[in-house]
Structure 1
Amino acid sequence: MLLTEALMLPVPNGLSTQSAALTEPMAVALHAVGLAELSARDVPQVVGCGPIGLAVIAVLKMRGARPIVAADYSPLASAEAQAMILIDFSL
């Protein structure tokens, strides 16, 4: 992929490349869930379980949304979404 310098951001010292790679999908997920303005009675549906869809599921779970419905044509992506939904994110 060819990128221009204007589109690149430096990765802070000490931040792993794995964490840096999650920055954009998590930012998109946080923004999308915030725009949704979900109420306690809403049942969110995530269509597409790629990196951003999985990030949306993680944000929904951290905000207490239950149940969460997720769908994807790919059996692998669907399995990843199911695993994300089952993970307990509470501390």
Structure 2
Amino acid sequence: MIRKAACTLVGLASLAGSLVAFSAPASAAGCHYRIVWNVAGVYNSPQQNPNYLIKTKQRGDIVGDYCTYTINDGYYWNIVALGGGGVGYMRADSMVRV
């Protein structure tokens, strides 16, 4: 089943360009991504810092389920669903949309 997602911009923007956040309501689901790196981290904050690492995903794994992203320190971070209703952040260049 294909669902359309209507992503909503929530105004978080820094003039320095260090953090821009895009968000969508929980009902705006439907985007899935395939991991293309050998190993990609899932973080609880959009920072590639070992202190924020929740878990890792392997090449070929499918993640999702939100069509939203954030930009931090020049990297795009896709927001992905975690078990229990939470969200995690993964580098957008570690995945492709399926």
TM-score, length of structure 1 as denominator length: 0.31
Mark the structure with the bigger radius of gyration. Answer: 1
Higher relative contact order (CA 8 A, sep 6+): 2
Structure (1 or 2) with the greater helix fraction? 1
Structure (1 or 2) with the greater strand fraction? 2
TM-score, length of structure 2 as denominator length: 0.30
